[in-house]
Amino acid sequence: MRRTARNLADGREIIYFDTDPHAPPRVAEDARDLPEQAPASEMRRDPLTGEWVAMAAHRQSRTYKPPADLCPLCPSSPGRLSEIPESDYDVVVFENRFPSFSGGIEGGAGTVDGTGLVPSAPAQGRCEVMCFTSEHHTSFGRLGHSRVRTVVDAWADRTSALSETPGVEQVFCFENRGEEIGVTLHHPHGQIYGYPFVTPKTERMLRVAEDYRAEHGRHLLGDVLAAERAAGDRVLVDSEYWTAFVPAAARWPVEVHLLPHRQVPDIPALTDAERDDFAATYLEVLRRLDGLYDRPLPYIAAWYQAPVRTGRELSWLHLEVFSVLRASDKLKYLAGSESGMGVWINDVTPERIAERLRAI
């Protein structure tokens, strides 16, 4: 893989990752007339839950469902300049033009209204967009094995880089696919967030893992993985280095977890063999997901990596893929129990979904 870092017209960084090290050099200049970046995100901590909430009002003006010929993630062409100056690319990552978290935000910590009840601070961090391919009318699941491997290496590169960014406490790589999920740009892409705090779900998972280790002397996810492989009725793919399965307590109507057989904290810690095997395993999972309803499945794919500075010995890297589609023409809406109380109710058993996915 070849890595080339450049800058866009407003100073944002853009990085090209080429599968072929002999690909044309990435030297195109961004000819757009863009205003300088003026990040202004704020975050406030909910006094009832202790969770941080980002306030990013500038995102109201972000690009929303443009036609294919105006897609900002396609390569640039004569008369049509996009976020990517090159006329073609393999995988590319650039700083989000409308970030929820960003560097260089002025101001210091304080409290809302000066009461001391609601702490506030600049939403320092970094948000990046990752384009998996220059082809607009395709999807991650239709990429070749070598391209997926390039994506994995790019995830590892960005995880390492953002982990060294001052103020970043956790790196989150993810993909949203499908309008039902809320996607506003249809070009195959994902995002990478460098959070200035450890996310609430990660904190809960680390607490549970710590309690389990104190009681049993073993890692919780290691025991979950062993139990799923032994039972087998929810396993979709069991390869040399990875297992993909529908979790026994799945929240979503379609939900698959992919775990490496070896405990590693994050993507950079994966070996070459583990990265190769992941590419094959994940493509198999996505093929089955798209075959479930004979239509492209809307989904969110979320990497759970160790925080930068805490809980790394308790973390076990894994990918969770889930969908809101409970039938080919029916969505699962979060009802009062889920939205109001966080108590999930699934309309289908994990065993039944696993059986259907295995049959594809």
Q: Which residues are catalytic?
A: 189
Alpha carbons 33 and 81: distance in angstroms, whole number: 10
Is 71 labeled as ligand-binding? yes
Question: What is the distance between the terminal CA atoms of the chain, rounded to a whole angstrom?
Answer: 33
Query: Is residue 216 annotated as involved in ligand binding?
Result: no
Q: List, in sequence order, every residue forming a beta bridge with 246; answer none if it has no partner.
A: none
Q: Is 136 annotated as belonging to a binding site?
A: yes
In single-letter form, the type of residue at position 9 comes to A
Distance CA 186, CA 340 (A): 31
Longest dimension (CA), the chain: 64
137 is in an annotated binding site: no
Exposed e or buried b per residue across 19-35, where buried means at least 16 C-beta atoms within 10 angstroms of its C-beta: beeeeeebebebeeeee
Would you state the structure tokens that stand for residue 59, as one six-digit string?
């995102």
Give the residue numbers of the binding site for Zn(2+).
71, 74, 136, 187
